[in-house]
Structures are given as C-alpha cells and as structure tokens.
C-alpha cells in the first residue's frame, strides 16, 4: 500500500501548551481520512502544519514519501479548502479557479480549458464569469474544491468546510463531497468536530482529544468498539454511568453504579478487575422496551420504570425512562408499536450485557 | 400613525436641509455668481467672464494652479507608498495588544493641531535647526544648512500632515481581509508579489481610493504647510485665494480662484472614483 | 505575507526596521516641539541653554509663560467656546441625520446622502470663502434694505462656528450613523412590546446604545474644531482662536512660548482622546 501522507511523531508546542502531542499516522493513496475532535483538540494545528502555515516543534511530514518540512506553503503539493472557503472576492469564479494555474505560468488558453473542465466536473458549467457572492453556499463549496483540484494536488486538506452551511445542505454536501473525492480520486484529509460528517464520508477516522489520537479506525469500529471512554462519549449518543466493578468474569463485568444500580457490561478485552472505577456506555438503540417484563427476561440487564418524557423526532424518536433513580434514554422501535406511549406509562426495558461498553475510569469513582 | 411618520420625517429632514442649503449650496452658488461679476465702476458690476480670463491669461496664476495640483498628486502618491507597508504591518502582522498600540500611536500626532506639527518640522529643518546642527556635529557639512523654504520641505510637511488620513482607511480595509484568504493565495502557489498584486491590493482598493481622495483634498486645500515650510515664494494656490480676499480685497477674482480650486478637486475626485469603479458613498460613508 | 507564511529572516527584519523608522519620524516633530518648551532660551532651537519651567509659569519679561500670557489664554478660551458650539451643533444635527438616513426611506434619499458627504471633498478654504461671500451679501442686503446691521453675519465667531460646523456635521453624522447601523431594531420592538411608546423606546433603548458614538462624535468634533485652520482663517474677525493666534505669532518669529502652548495642546488632546477611548470601551 502506498501512502500519500505520512506524519511521524508530529508535535507542536505553543509556549507551555502542547497542541499536538506526538501524533503519527499514514493516509493511504486515494482514501478519505478524517480527524474528528472537539474544538481545541489540535486538529486544526495538524492541518496547518501539513499545509505549511505552522512549523512543527518536532516530527516529520512526508508527502508521497518525501519530507516537506523545508518546502514553503506555496510549493507544497497539498492544497486546502479553508473553513470559510477563502474564495477571492475580488475575482470572478473562473479567475478563482484559474488562480493557481496562473501561478504555475500556464498559458491563458490552456487555463481557460482547464477551468471549463473543472466547472463541468463540479456540475456548474458556464458560470465562470459570475461573481463569488452570486453563488449559493453549496456552489461556493464546490468552486473552492475545484480551485484546488485543478492543481492536481497529492493531498487535499479540508478544514471543516461544511460548518457554515445549514443542516439540509450539509446533509447533501456530505454525499456530494464523498462523490467528488471518488471522482477526483485524490487523497482527502478532512477535519471536523461533527461526527456524522466523519462517519458518513470517511474511510478512516482518527478521533482526537487534547493533542493525541484516541483511536483510529473505520466509522463502524469507532461506533461499536470505541477504544476509550472519550471515543464512546464523543461518537454517537450514549447513556452513561459511573460505578465500581463488583465482579469480573472474563470480559463480563458486574458494575454497581453510584446510585446503587447493578448492571452487566463488557470490557471488550480491556484489562479490568474487581474494585476498579468504571464508566459504562450504553447506546439508546441497544435498549429494548416492552410492556411485559417477561419479554425481556433473556437480557442480562432489565429494569422497570415510568416514561417521564417523550422526545418525538420521527425515526429517531426516544423516550426517557425513570427507573431506580436513574434516567435512561431509549430509542423507540421504528415499527411504531409504541407510538401510543404517553408520559407516566409503566414500561420495562432491558439490554444485553455486551451492548454495554465498560472502561476503566482511572482512580476516580 | 402614517401622519406621525411623516411629521417625524419632516422634523428630521429640516436640520439637514437647513445645513446643506444655507451653508453649502447657496454659498457656493453665490460664490460662483460673484466670480462672474466684473467691477466697472464704484459699486457697479456687470456679468462677465473677466475674472476667469484673468486667471487664464496671467501665467503666474495658471502656473501656481498647475503646480499646486501636481504637487498635491505627488504628495498623495508618496503618502500612499509610505503608508501602505505600515498599514499592512498594523493590520496583518501585528497581533492583539501591539496592533491596537501601534494604531493608536499612528493617531496620536493627529490629535494636535496641524500648526504644531508644522512647527515641529520648522524646528527640525531650519538653518539653526536640529538636523542642520546634527550634520555639522557629524562633520558632514561645514556651515549651517537651510532645509526650509523649498519644495522638498513642503512635500515633507504635506505627507506628514496627511499620513493619518491614509493609514486609517488602509488599516480598516486591510483588517477586513481574512488571513484565510491570504493563506489560500499562498496555498495555491502564490508568491509575495503575486498575492500582493492579485489579492491584497484589489481588496484594499476602496481604502486606497478613500485615503487618496482625502489626502489629495487636504494637500490641495492646505494653506498652513506651504506657507510655513515653503516660505514666501511657495506659490500655493490657496495663498493666491487668501491674498485676493484678505490682502487685495478683490473678492470677485478670489471667488473665481475658489471656484477653479473646487472644480479641480471635484474633477480629480470624480476621475479617481471612475477610474477605480468606486462610489463616494462606499469610500467616504 | 502574514505570520503564518514563512519568510526569509532578512526580509522580516527589514520590514520591522522600516516600520520602526516610520514611527520614529512620526513622533520626531512632536518630541522636538515638546522638548524645546523647556529650553531656557529665547529661541526654540539649539544650543540647549538649560532646563526651565519659565515658558509655562514665568511672569516677567522676557520670559512670560503660557499661563501668564493674556493673548494666548484668551485665544484658548475663544477656541474652546467655538469648539463647544460646533460640537453641540454637529452632534445634534448628526444624530438627527443618522436617524433620517437609517429609519426613513424617501425619494431623493440617495442623492441627499451623497450631497451630505460633499463637504468632505470641498477644500476647507473654499468652504470658508463661500460662506464669507454669502454672509456678507446678506448682511449688505439687510443694511441696504432696512439699515439693519447684523453683526453675526460679519467675520467673527458666529461665522467661524457655522463655517466649521458645515463640514464637521458630516463627520458627526458618519460616526453616529455607523453605530446606529449596528443597532438591532428588534430591541426597540421589544421595548414597545413591553409597553414603551415609540419615542420612549428610542429614549430608553436606542439613545443609551448610541451614547458612546455621541461622545465619540462630540470629542472628534471638538478636536477638529480646535485645530481647524483653513476655514477659520477666512471667517475670523477680531477674536482669534488659538490656531490663528499662534499662526500670527509664528510668522513674526517663534519663542519657546509657542512650544509650551503646543505641549499643553498635546496633553489636552491626548487627555480628551483617552476619555473618548475609555467611554468607547464601556
């Protein structure tokens, strides 16, 4: 496998704080790689180092196997789609897309051809003479990508480019970006704090927190097999409890939560033992509801309680169940069998022990 | 409600119209009318173009007029060239506290009267001044050097006096250019010069135009600096106007001069706006 | 070039040096003026004859200090009087104009707005002579018609105030309008929703919001009036404001007294500027 981008022990310190702490990763050619993390986790710093706007404190960045640390940003074979796109307002669309080609000294006629090709490719033929502010948000997005792609970079960096768009458009652009990546067959490195953007588009996602990568893997891995409590909490929604391990049998942990509830969860090969402080994450869709307690008898964990809140949200509707001094969010099955449920109704809920992810919570309770 | 809004409009319109009509419009029309009068006897006038004819026939007047225009344009260009790098530094390179401090430092000299500023240059440049003494002390010259009372001194004064009015609009427009856009320019392969030429300068165009207009106007209409730094033979057009009005008491000719100055400044401002595709509202308002 | 784009060290150093030289030259004339206010000599030039406070507090010839020189003190008073008059007028009219252009839509508004900007592109001396010509014409007309001598229309402080006001009003309008533009109209609507009448809403919500701009406009107008020269020169009568008085003295040859007055001016305007910045911060 060949790699378009390799980062080796990348570290960046600003004064006393370490923004990026010894991060290494490889991005295979032609893949869509995302760095997902909350704001301030250091993901923008990594991107700016790759683009050449920041110098790493230590470590190396290789593009197609060659170190680019000594290459100035205007010579690096990477291009960047900026957070606010940074389209040049003083130029029209064709001039924007042709900007980089002009810098390479390409002949005018040839630039015109390339620009037209690019416009065709992004599905906006014939708009070259229009002004930037005449475009919609999604069109600007595509122009910003085309502006980089005409230069045929080895790696395209995208810095949360969907952040400024409204929800509907964002959903559409996710699909479109993925399609554009496939069409251009270029390596994309995408940073975002929005898990759904990362999950939908990426081949590989790195979850970043406080300057380090917590986990790197496919969206499916991150969602179902989070490697740390942070990833479990950050990717997707979860019910979470803190407690202490009372019994451990292989991967099966019996944990008593702070409020006294006892439940089973899986350590998924993480080393844990009796007496350890633990954090448990259970996804709302992993929990079943029933009106009869017997239906749930086969689950390791079952509780009875009352519906305290109905959160109707179409296919993603949930209820909040109060049981034994805990409030638990549960997804309603999409079959509609519980559509008539109302607040105050008694329900039974249950889930399998291996649906609960159990992590050691350090020394704290 | 509707009549209330109408009344409000009238009440707010009244001061504006009073000001513009009584203090701007009518006085200028009146000045123009006076410039068209020719004195034919004591208290007797007739309408003629005699004053304008005098202006065009007297080489000294015309020469002074053109000289003032050219020197003002030159002063504007020099101010722009000096101010641009400084403004860019304040807007795009300095950060946080030091940016506001530098900006404030630019403003400070202009809170004091132009007279004081000019006075400062006189102390520096005159024969017994600091620079002359410094040069003698350094052994570069053998006797006192007079650096006042020449065109270079006028230029120094004009540029210094106008600096603020160039720096402020430049800093404001340059600040509004996101760093991201400049970075994009480099990211796509741009060099210092090409980013400057294709991105920064086009973006700063409104600031450049409005700064240039103001500096040009201030130079053209300046009286103090040419008089103090240029001495008796400084030949600045405003001096002609002053002497016609106050010394010779020939208001008709003075008014004609005033009108010519107004015409010149309007033409150049209009030309500058047209050339750069800007409007007065955008650059001034 | 911005800090995130690596540049050769020499280029960066040269750039910083240029900016440093710029600021030194910017400060130089003022520093020189200030320094020679303390020279114990009859001339504001080298050689340095020793330090003295005499040009501020001296009360005997040949060293009459700024605080004992009647002519200068009176000129400062005159300037302050004119400046207050101009500022009050300019802020009042500016406020009215800002509301007019922000809140109303009427025919000819665009033209009127451009017309309002014009005083900024008319040379000050032309503003001065046009008002001088017009007011004299009116004064002469009144005299011819009714033997009525209107002192205010002859060169003097009234004309100076009107002349300065004629262009400072534009600046006040722009300062106030800029802040009104940023005002969120829904705040006023909220006030009315909570039971305030339209005018009360403006008084209790909009005007307090505008206060920093009003103070800013006042200070700017005050300083511009105080240091105005060109327009004033054409309209001044027997009472000379400070700039004119200093100009007359400077033409005769300068003594360090003028340096002392200049230094006081600098301190005064810096103080005003600081007050303004403090208010803007709030």
pLDDT tens digits, one per residue of B161-204: 889 889 989 998 999 999 999 999 999 988 889 999 999 999 99
List of domains in chain A? 3-231 (3.40.50.300), 237-360 (2.40.50.100)
Domain assignment of residue C185, given as a range: 70-281
Mean pLDDT calculated for residue range C236-252: 87
Stretch 247-276 of chain B: residues touching chain C, C-beta under 8 Å: 251, 254-255, 258, 261-262, 265-266, 269
**B185 in contact with C, Cβ within 8 Å:** no
Distance, in angstroms, between B75 CA and closest chain A CA?
28
What confidence score (pLDDT) does residue A62 get? 93
pLDDT in tens, C144-202: 888 887 777 888 899 999 999 999 999 999 999 999 988 888 888 888 877 777 788 88
B158-173 residue pLDDT tens: 999 889 889 989 998 9
Q: What percent of chain C has pLDDT over 90?
A: 30
Cross-chain residue pair C130–B258, CB shorter than 8 Å: yes
Residue C117, pLDDT above cutoff 70: yes
> Do residues B229 and B222 touch, judged by C-beta distance below 8 A?
no
Say whether pLDDT at A294 is over 50. Answer: yes
User: Which residue on chain B is closest to C261 by alpha carbon?
Assistant: B116
What is the tens place of the pLDDT at every residue in C67-81?
777 888 899 999 999
pLDDT given for residue B2 in this prediction: 64
Q: What is the mean pLDDT of residues C85-103?
A: 94
pLDDT at B89: 94
For residue C63, pLDDT beyond 80:
no
The closest CB to that of A79, out of B187, B194, B205, belongs to: B187
Any chains having at least 3 CB pairs less than 8 A from chain C are: A, B
C147 touches chain A (CB under 8 A): no
Chain A positions touching C6 (Cβ under 8 A) are 52, 55, 72-73
Tell me whether strands A288-290 and A346-351 are parallel, antiparallel or unpaired.
Answer: antiparallel
What are the residue ranges of helices labelled H in chain B? 2-18, 26-35, 50-57, 59-88, 96-107, 114-125, 130-137, 151-175, 179-187, 192-195, 201-220, 224-230, 237-242, 251-276, 280-284
Q: Which of A83, A91, A100 sits opposite B189 (nearest CB)?
A: A100
Q: Supply the mean pLDDT for chain C.
A: 86
Quick one: which of B166, B99, B116 has its CA closest to C27?
B116
Smallest CA–CA distance from C2 into chain A, residue = A53
- Please state, in angstroms and rounded to a whole number, the distance separating the CA atoms of residues A38 and A193: 5
Q: How do the domains of chain B map onto residue ranges? A: 1-27, 60-284
What pLDDT digit, counting tens, does each position of A317-354 carry?
Answer: 889 998 877 889 999 887 777 878 888 888 999 988 88
Q: Which helix (H) or strand (E) holds A221?
A: helix A219-224
What is the per-residue burial (b if ≥16 Cβ within 10 Å, else e) of C76-114?
bebbbebbbbbbebbbebbbbbbbbbebeeeeeeeebbe
Confidence of residue A364 (pLDDT cuts 50, 70, 90): very low
Contact assignment for C117 to B281 by CB distance below 8 Å: yes
Percent of chain A scored above 90 by pLDDT?
33
Chain C from 154 to 193: CB within 8 A of any B CB: 162-163, 165-166, 169, 174
Collect all residues of chain A within an 8 Å Cβ-Cβ radius of residue C5. 53, 72-73
- Residue in C122, C126, C141 to test binding to B, most B beta-carbons within 10 Å: C126
Q: Is C27 part of any domain?
A: no
At B285 the pLDDT is: 58
CB contact under 8 A, B31 and C133: yes
Q: Which residue of B has its CA nearest to A98?
A: B188
Output the domain CATH number for residue C114: 1.10.3720.10
Classify strands A301-311 and A318-323 as parallel, antiparallel or unpaired: antiparallel
**Cα torsion C109, C112, C118, C120: sign:** negative
Q: Tokens 């002609």 label which residue?
A: B240
Chains in contact with B via at least 3 Cβ–Cβ pairs below 8 Å: A, C
> What is the CB-side half-sphere exposure of residue A28 using CA atoms within 13 A?
7
Binding-face residues of A in 42-61 toward C, CB within 8 A = 48, 52-55
Contact C121 B112 (CB under 8 A): no
Check CB contact under 8 Å for C6 and A73.
yes
Cross-chain residue pair C6–A54, CB shorter than 8 Å: no
Nearest-Cα residue of chain A relative to residue C3: A53
Output the pLDDT for position C237.
84
Q: Mean pLDDT, to the nearest integer, of B73-98?
A: 92
Cβ separation C118–B24 shorter than 8 A: yes
B-chain CB neighbours of A50 within 8 Å are: none
Q: Is residue C142 part of a domain?
A: yes
Using only the alpha carbons of chain B, give its radius of gyration.
24
- CB-based contact, C51 to chain B, within 8 Å: no
pLDDT of residue A365: 31
Partner A, chain C 4-43, Cβ-Cβ below 8 Å: 4-6
Asked if B113 and C174 come within 8 Å (Cβ–Cβ), the reply is no
DSSP assignments along chain C, one per residue: --TTS---HHHHHHHHHHHHHHHHHHHHHHHHHHHGGGBSSSSSSSSP--B-SHHHH-EETTEE-GGG-HHHHHHHHHHHHHHHHHHHHHHHHHHHHHHHHHH---TTHHHHHHHHHGGGGS-HHHHHHHHHHHHHHHHHHHHHHH----GGGSSSHHHHHHHHHHHHHHHHHHHHHHHHHHS-HHHHHHHHHTT--HHHHIIIIIHHHHHHHHHHHHHHHHHHHHH--HHHHHH--SS--HHHHHHHHHHH---HHHHHHHHHHHHHHHHHHHHHHHHHH-
> What part of B 116-135 touches C (C-beta under 8 Å)?
116-117, 119-124, 126, 128-130, 133
Backbone angles phi, psi at B66, to 5 degrees: -65, -40
Provide the domain count of chain C: 1
For residue C123, give the chain B residue with the closest CA. B221
Asked if residue B19 has pLDDT above 60, the reply is yes
What's the half-sphere exposure (Cβ side, CA atoms, 13 Å) at B73? 12
Higher pLDDT, B128 or C246: C246
Alpha carbon of A237: minimum distance to chain C alpha carbons (Å)? 37
Residues in chain C closer than 8 A to B245 (CB atoms) = 129, 132, 234
CB contact under 8 A, A86 and B184: yes
Q: Could A91 and B198 be called an inter-chain contact, meaning their C-beta atoms sit closer than 8 Å?
A: yes
Which of C30, C46, C104 shows the shortest C-beta gap to B109?
Answer: C30
Nearest Cα neighbor of A266 from A284, A244, A287, A249 is A249
ipTM of the complex: 0.88
Distances (CA, A) of B249 to B161, B245, B252, C138: 30, 5, 9, 18
Nearest to C230 by CA among C131, C140, C138: C131
Look at residues C75, C98, C273 and name the one whose alpha carbon lies nearest to residue C160.
Answer: C75
Average pLDDT, stretch A243-267?
86
Edge-to-edge strands, sheet with A326-331: A288-290, A346-351, A301-311, A318-323, A326-331
CB pairs under 8 A between A and C: 10
Size of interface B-C (CB pairs under 8 A): 242
Two tokens, residue A117 = 């090709």
Say what the pTM is.
0.84
Give me the architecture of the B60-284 domain, per CATH: Orthogonal Bundle (1.10)
Q: Residue A362 — pLDDT band, cuts 50, 70, 90?
A: low
């Amino acid at each position: 496998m060949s790699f378009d981008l390799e980062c080796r022990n990348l570290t960046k310190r600003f004064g006393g704080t370490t923004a990026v702490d010894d991060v290494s990763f490889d991005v295979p050619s032609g893949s869509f790689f995302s760095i997902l993390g909350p704001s301030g986790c250091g993901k923008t710093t990594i991107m700016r180092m790759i683009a050449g706007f920041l110098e790493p404190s230590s470590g190396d960045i290789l593009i197609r196997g060659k170190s680019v640390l000594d290459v100035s940003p205007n010579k690096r074979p990477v291009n960047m789609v900026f957070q606010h796109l940074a389209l040049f307002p003083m130029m029209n669309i064709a001039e924007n897309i042709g900007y980089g080609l002009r810098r390479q000294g390409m002949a005018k006629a040839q630039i015109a051809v390339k620009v037209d090709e690019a416009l065709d490719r992004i599905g906006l033929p014939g708009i070259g003479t229009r002004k930037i502010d005449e475009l919609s948000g999604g069109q600007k997005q595509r122009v910003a990508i085309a502006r980089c792609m005409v230069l045929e970079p080895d790696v395209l960096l995208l810095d949360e480019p969907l952040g400024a768009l409204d929800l509907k458009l964002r959903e559409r652009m996710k699909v479109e970006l993925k399609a554009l990546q496939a069409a251009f067959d270029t390596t994309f490195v995408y940073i975002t704090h929005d898990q759904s953007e990362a999950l939908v588009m990426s081949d590989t996602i790195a979850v970043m927190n406080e300057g380090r990568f917590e986990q790197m893997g496919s969206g499916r891995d991150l969602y179902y097999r989070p490697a740390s409590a942070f990833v479990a909490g950050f990717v997707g929604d979860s019910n979470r409890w803190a407690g202490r391990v009372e019994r451990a049998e292989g991967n099966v942990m019996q944990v008593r939560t702070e409020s006294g509830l006892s439940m089973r969860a899986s350590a998924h090969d993480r080393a844990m033992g009796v007496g350890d402080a633990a954090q448990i994450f259970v996804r709302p869709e992993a929990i079943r509801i029933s009106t009869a307690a017997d239906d749930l008898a086969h689950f390791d964990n079952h509780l009875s309680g009352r519906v305290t809140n109905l959160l109707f949200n179409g296919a993603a509707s949930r209820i909040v169940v109060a049981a034994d001094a805990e409030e638990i969010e549960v997804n309603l099955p999409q079959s509609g069998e519980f559509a008539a449920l109302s607040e105050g109704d008694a329900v039974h809920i249950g889930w399998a022990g291996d649906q609960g992810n159990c992590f050691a919570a350090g020394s704290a309770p | 409600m509707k009549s209330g809004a109408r009344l409000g409009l009238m009440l707010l319109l009244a001061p504006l119209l009073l000001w513009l009509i009584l203090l701007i419009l009518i006085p200028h029309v009146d000045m123009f009318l006076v410039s068209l009068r020719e004195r034919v006897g004591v208290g007797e006038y007739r309408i003629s173009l005699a004053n304008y004819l005098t202006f065009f026939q007297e080489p000294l007047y015309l020469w002074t007029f053109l000289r003032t225009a050219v020197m003002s344009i030159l002063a504007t260009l020099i101010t722009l060239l000096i101010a641009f790098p400084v403004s860019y530094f304040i807007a795009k390179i300095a950060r946080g506290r030091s940016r506001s401090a530098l900006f404030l430092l630019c403003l400070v000299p202009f809170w004091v009267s132009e007279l004081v500023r000019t006075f400062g240059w006189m102390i520096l440049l005159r024969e017994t001044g600091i620079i002359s003494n410094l040069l003698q002390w350094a052994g570069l010259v053998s006797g006192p050097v007079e650096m006042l009372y020449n065109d270079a001194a006028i230029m120094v004064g004009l540029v210094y006096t106008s600096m603020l009015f160039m720096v402020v609009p430049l800093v404001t427009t340059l600040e509004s250019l996101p760093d991201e856009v400049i970075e994009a320019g480099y990211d796509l392969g741009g060099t210092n010069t090409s980013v400057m030429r294709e991105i920064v300068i086009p973006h700063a165009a409104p600031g450049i135009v409005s700064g240039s207009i103001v500096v040009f106007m201030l130079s053209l209409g300046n009286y103090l600096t040419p008089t103090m730094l240029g001495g008796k033979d400084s030949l600045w057009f405003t001096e002609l106007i002053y002497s016609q009005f106050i010394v010779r008491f020939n208001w008709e000719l003075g008014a004609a001069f005033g009108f010519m100055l107004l015409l010149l400044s309007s033409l150049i401002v209009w030309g500058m706006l047209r050339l750069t595709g800007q409007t007065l509202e955008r650059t001034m308002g | 070039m911005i800090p995130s784009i690596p540049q050769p060290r020499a280029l960066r150093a040269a750039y910083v040096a240029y900016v440093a030289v710029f600021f030194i030259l910017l400060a130089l004339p003022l520093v020189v003026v200030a320094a020679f206010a303390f020279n114990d000599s009859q001339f504001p030039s080298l050689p340095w004859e020793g330090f003295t406070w005499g040009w501020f507090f001296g009360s005997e010839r040949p060293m009459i200090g700024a605080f004992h020189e009647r002519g200068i003190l009176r000129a400062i008073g005159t300037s302050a009087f004119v400046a207050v008059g101009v500022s009050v007028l300019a802020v009042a009219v500016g406020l009215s104009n800002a509301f007019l252009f922000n809140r109303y839509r009427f025919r000819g508004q665009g033209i009127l707005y451009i017309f309002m900007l014009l005083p900024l592109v008319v040379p000050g001396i032309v503003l001065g002579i046009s008002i001088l010509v017009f007011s004299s014409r009116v004064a002469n007309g009144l005299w011819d018609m009714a033997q009525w001598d209107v002192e205010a229309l002859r060169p003097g402080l009234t004309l100076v105030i009107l002349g300065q006001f004629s262009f400072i009003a534009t600046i006040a309008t722009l300062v106030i309008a800029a802040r009104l533009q940023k005002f969120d109209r829904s705040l006023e609507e909220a006030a009315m929703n909570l039971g305030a009448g339209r005018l009360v809403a403006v008084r209790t919500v909009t005007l307090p919001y505008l206060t920093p701009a009003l103070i800013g406009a006042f200070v700017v107008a005050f300083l511009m009036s105080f240091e105005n020269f060109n327009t004033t020169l054409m309209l001044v009568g027997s009472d000379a404001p400070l700039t004119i008085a200093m100009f007359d003295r400077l033409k005769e040859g300068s003594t360090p007294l003028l340096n002392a007055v200049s230094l006081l001016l600098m301190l005064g305007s810096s103080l005003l500027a600081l007050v303004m910045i403090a208010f803007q911060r709030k």
